[in-house]
Chain A
């Protein structure tokens, strides 16, 4: 291996690492706020990439029907709950409207816009608008009523959600894989290295999102409320921060980050309905590196995973997944030596 190859591999690894970083941040965020180890984070990535691909093809993306089914299920669950507890009809109606408004509106737009062949950027925005509401809807269906369950139960629920989402993904998107067009086809050369426009976009978008997240947590009231919930759920609740709205917000952000990652990764690889799992798990390895707690460590870990993957695929391409997932063992060993106390639950 000479320096040029090393440079190409490093750049490749960092590009993927930037996407894993976003997913790792989302994983840490969701775990800190809700104690949910959100295995299906990667599903949002696949859904984002596939939605854009179908819009590109002039088709109404399966996401639309998927979203309407989810929103309908949540409305139904709310309705049953309301009937059982004899809530007034007005309140139930308002709740149903609040649940349905966004999904229905964005679905109508998507059905209208799909055959129009809108510019790529508009389709990207529509994709994010379609995938983001999956987060809060999934939270409400699967997790909200289990908010006081143990981490273990929530983890098993996550695995169930992953199973259901992958199966539904197959139903709504089909088994076919898609590769999206680049957002920017420019190739930039410097110092013997070629940087694709897409890589530049990935770096810029990731950086912008990380800065945005930082500003959100440091400056905004909602961000501070999430941090408060992460530190002490009960204390935050006593200060008037509802843990379920904190949960919904964190899942919304996770889905947004996932959809965006899907847009970014779409042009670099062929995405199938079940591709999200492996992509998400790589973000996961990074999040575990960070002890599911530290954002900066998650970032470092994600870039490490990206580099490990690209160099691994150069040396032993068949074993790159083995290398990436095997690397979690030394990471866990390091963590257990660093922080050996056993937590009581």
Chain B
């Protein structure tokens, strides 16, 4: 199964999770960077310098696809078109007006970003496959536009582009340009690594496995999808700018849809979940393509682009048998050390003022939900006061989880009202409700299996922190990150999981995963915690541990609303119990009252007729 692109299967493959490591960064990265920057000064034949420049140019584009496809779970077949925007802008302005390369870079990037924003605004609110479909159309339309515009030279393109002159130095097209291309590629890789290990980076990773969990942590999934698509377009346009000055001519064909697919192929082949996969994939594709273009026509006897046969088949085979790409084999040599604990003295994150004990927190007032003709929740009302544990019980299909989704804004109400501390909250998106201090866990654990427990819990602190992409890339977010990890560790300690904070979440058994979700919810600094079947699938001693944790939370003043099936668990824990059956509220009372009720017995055990 595809592990890297499909988040769901992630938990199965521990070997594949090598994250950007301190060790790699300390030794391998500087060594590699130094080599690439001084390569032109070494006695390397021109041919290899040219190849190396191509690899750098491709890697910049493929890097954007790694972020987009491997990290955010979206994809684009139109990256070549963004490269084209950067290249044609540079070519046109440099040949017609002799504009400064800085200006053409700025304009090319601005145009590509504008196109990406437009495409993203239109498609990213819908299912994930509309973006790639739109990028196919965009790639084709742009390519035909380039090929038919008189002022862009039609199919011949634009010739005679001057070489790059920066700060009075003519870089030429070979050995002089090489350090610039690679400096940009390496800086982009560094920026991507920093981004992935940051608040916005974790938000982008969270987007991949569906939007419900991310939104429940206060993350605008739409904003991050758009952000990562724009970053990918930005990188492609920068590569295009370099490409124009490297080739000194542009024509439509290198920016067509086939090239767009080839860029995706590079990312998938190299390892779409790894920053360095983009470099490895670009190198392999460039070098192999070069050989195949000579070899295959010789073998077959006529000229033609036969290498697409190999690329197509290899793409399918890689997705089937090695979805982590080639980097997963190389990455083994660069194991990731655990995150060094540098947050010991970090000041705590600010906390919200907690409601007074006994305050009426949540009012569920005649809430109703229709699915077509089916009444899933039928005018259910109850209240929850601060410091209480309220349990929502009922047989399967009683509408408990639906009610949860109505309270947390995952589903819209069909009727009635939900009030939080007197304010109506129905109709607000779930991220807004989360920011009011209502946090939740899920019936089926939703997490990012390839991140550590600590990082997963830090996701809960998203709404209490501020750093954006720029701060992350410039590492201006470190003080806040330390606060965030200190908070995450504190919450893990609160539920007794501090020992496991450096383990990958996907490697944990179900019980600890559920506890981790509670820690993540606690990291949002909630006033009310909603737990959806927290004890489901737990073993007996795990249930006891969970009950102890919840009692302790209550003792610390937390309010809880939980959906649960396990009666022993509920009856020993809850202050009040609401029983639902077929979408309606059957009875509400203390555990003793509910246990004594003949209606409840009838609902659970059936009646005599």
Residues in chain A within 8 A of chain B (CB atoms): 37, 39, 141-142, 145-146, 148-153, 155-157, 159-168, 170-171, 174-175, 278, 281, 284-285, 288, 318-319, 321-322, 325-326, 328-329, 332-333, 335-336, 339-340, 342-345
Q: Is the CB of B309 within 8 A of A171?
A: yes
Within 8 Å of chain A (Cβ to Cβ): is B140? yes
Known: A175-B304, A322-B148, A329-B137. 16 other contacts (CB 8 A): A149-B2, A152-B128, A156-B315, A161-B316, A167-B305, A167-B312, A171-B304, A278-B140, A288-B133, A321-B144, A325-B137, A328-B133, A335-B130, A342-B222, A343-B126, A345-B128
Choice from B122, B145, B315 contacting A163 with Cβ under 8 Å: B315
Residues of A within 8 Å of B268, CB to CB, are 156
Q: CA separation between A264 and B308, bound complex, in Å? A: 28
Residues of B within 8 Å of A148, CB to CB, are 1
Residues of A within 8 Å of B126, CB to CB, are 332, 335-336, 339-340, 342-343
Q: Is the CB of A162 within 8 A of B312?
A: yes
When A157-B316, A329-B134 are in contact, do A322 and B305 touch as well, CB less than 8 Å?
A: no
Q: Is the CB of B148 within 8 A of A163?
A: no
Residues of B within 8 Å of A167, CB to CB, are 304-310, 312
Q: Is the CB of B140 within 8 A of A281?
A: yes
Q: Is the CB of A329 within 8 A of B122?
A: yes
Residues of A within 8 Å of B211, CB to CB, are 342, 344
Q: Is the CB of B261 within 8 A of A159?
A: yes
Residues of B within 8 Å of A336, CB to CB, are 122-123, 125-126, 130
Q: CA separation between A153 and B272, bound complex, in Å? A: 12
Select from chain B the residue with minimum beta-carbon distance to A338: B126
A-B pair count, CB < 8 Å, reads 168
Residues of B within 8 Å of A175, CB to CB, are 302, 304
Per-position 1/0 for B102-144, Cβ under 8 A of A: 0000000000000000110011011111101110111011001
A sample of 6 cross-chain residue pairs with beta-carbon separation below 8 angstroms, ordered by A number, consists of A149-B1, A160-B315, A164-B309, A170-B306, A329-B134, A336-B123
When A156-B268, A159-B315 are in contact, do A326 and B137 touch as well, CB less than 8 Å?
A: yes
Select from chain B the residue with minimum beta-carbon distance to A319: B148
A230 to chain B, nearest CB (A): 16
**Chain A, interface SS category:** helix
Choice from A146, A160, A321, A343 contacting B312 with Cβ under 8 Å: A160
Q: CA separation between A70 and B493, bound complex, in Å? A: 58
Q: CA separation between A91 and B148, bound complex, in Å? A: 58
Q: Is the CB of B122 within 8 A of A332?
A: yes
Residues of B within 8 Å of A325, CB to CB, are 137-138, 140-141, 144
Residues of A within 8 Å of B128, CB to CB, are 151-152, 345
Select from chain B the residue with minimum beta-carbon distance to A73: B313
B8 to chain A, nearest CB (A): 8
Q: Is the CB of B312 within 8 A of A163?
A: yes
Q: Is the CB of B127 within 8 A of A345?
A: yes
Select from chain A the residue with minimum beta-carbon distance to B314: A160
Residues of A within 8 Å of B2, CB to CB, are 146, 149-150, 153
Within 8 Å of chain A (Cβ to Cβ): is B73? yes
Q: CA separation between A148 and B2, bound complex, in Å? A: 9
Residues of B within 8 Å of A332, CB to CB, are 122-123, 126, 130, 133-134
The 4 closest A-B pairs by CB, nearest first: A164-B312, A163-B312, A160-B315, A167-B309
Q: Is the CB of A152 within 8 A of B5?
A: yes
Q: CA separation between A324 and B531, bound complex, in Å? A: 50
Select from chain B the residue with minimum beta-carbon distance to A326: B141
Count of chain B residues with Cβ under 8 Å from any Cβ of A?
A: 59
Select from chain B the residue with minimum beta-carbon distance to A285: B137
Select from chain A the residue with minimum beta-carbon distance to B313: A164
Q: Is the CB of A166 within 8 A of B308?
A: yes
B80 to chain A, nearest CB (A): 13
Residues of A within 8 Å of B129, CB to CB, are 37, 151-152, 155
When A159-B77, A168-B309 are in contact, do A333 and B122 touch as well, CB less than 8 Å?
A: yes
Residues of B within 8 Å of A319, CB to CB, are 144-145, 148
Residues of B within 8 Å of A157, CB to CB, are 315-316, 319
Q: CA separation between A88 and B264, bound complex, in Å? A: 41
Q: Is the CB of A343 within 8 A of B127?
A: yes
B262 to chain A, nearest CB (A): 9
Per-position 1/0 for B490-534, Cβ under 8 A of A: 000000000000000000000000000000000000000000000
Q: CA separation between A159 and B268, bound complex, in Å? A: 12
Q: CA separation between A281 and B136, bound complex, in Å? A: 9
A314 to chain B, nearest CB (A): 16
B579 to chain A, nearest CB (A): 29
Residues of B within 8 Å of A150, CB to CB, are 2, 5-6, 8, 73
Q: CA separation between A17 and B284, bound complex, in Å? A: 42
Residues of B within 8 Å of A142, CB to CB, are 316
Select from chain A the residue with minimum beta-carbon distance to B316: A160
Q: Is the CB of B133 within 8 A of A163?
A: no
Q: CA separation between A242 and B607, bound complex, in Å? A: 40
When A322-B144, A339-B126 are in contact, do A155 and B306 touch as well, CB less than 8 Å?
A: no
Choice from B302, B308, B310, B313 contacting A174 with Cβ under 8 Å: B302
Within 8 Å of chain A (Cβ to Cβ): is B320? yes
Query: 8 Å CB contacts to A: which residues of B57-112?
Result: 69, 73-75, 77
Within 8 Å of chain A (Cβ to Cβ): is B311? yes
Most chain B beta-carbon neighbours within 10 Å: one of A167, A288, A336: A167
Q: CA separation between A164 and B319, bound complex, in Å? A: 15
Within 8 Å of chain A (Cβ to Cβ): is B198? no
When A160-B316, A163-B311, A164-B313 are in contact, do A322 and B5 touch as well, CB less than 8 Å?
A: no
Q: Is the CB of A342 within 8 A of B316?
A: no
Q: Is the CB of B127 within 8 A of A342?
A: yes
A344 to chain B, nearest CB (A): 4
Per-position 1/0 for B404-447, Cβ under 8 A of A: 00000000000000000000000000000000000000000000
Residues of A within 8 Å of B221, CB to CB, are 342
Q: CA separation between A165 and B258, bound complex, in Å? A: 13
B246 to chain A, nearest CB (A): 26
Within 8 Å of chain A (Cβ to Cβ): is B300? yes
Q: CA separation between A162 and B210, bound complex, in Å? A: 28
Q: Is the CB of A153 within 8 A of B312?
A: no
When A166-B308, A167-B305 are in contact, do A160 and B210 touch as well, CB less than 8 Å?
A: no
Choice from A155, A174, A340 contacting B132 with Cβ under 8 Å: A155
Within 8 Å of chain A (Cβ to Cβ): is B212? yes
Q: Is the CB of B300 within 8 A of A163?
A: no
When A151-B128, A164-B308, A336-B125 are in contact, do A322 and B315 touch as well, CB less than 8 Å?
A: no
Residues of A within 8 Å of B222, CB to CB, are 342
Residues of B within 8 Å of A168, CB to CB, are 309
A333 to chain B, nearest CB (A): 5
Q: Is the CB of B319 within 8 A of A153?
A: yes
A3 to chain B, nearest CB (A): 29
Residues of B within 8 Å of A156, CB to CB, are 5, 75, 264, 268, 315, 319
Residues of A within 8 Å of B212, CB to CB, are 344
Q: Is the CB of A155 within 8 A of B300?
A: no
A155 to chain B, nearest CB (A): 6
Residues of B within 8 Å of A340, CB to CB, are 125-126
A265 to chain B, nearest CB (A): 19
When A319-B148, A345-B128 are in contact, do A145 and B320 touch as well, CB less than 8 Å?
A: yes
Residues of B within 8 Å of A343, CB to CB, are 126-127
Residues of A within 8 Å of B140, CB to CB, are 278, 281, 321, 325
Per-position 1/0 for B222-256, Cβ under 8 A of A: 10000000000000000000000000000000000
Residues of A within 8 Å of B8, CB to CB, are 150
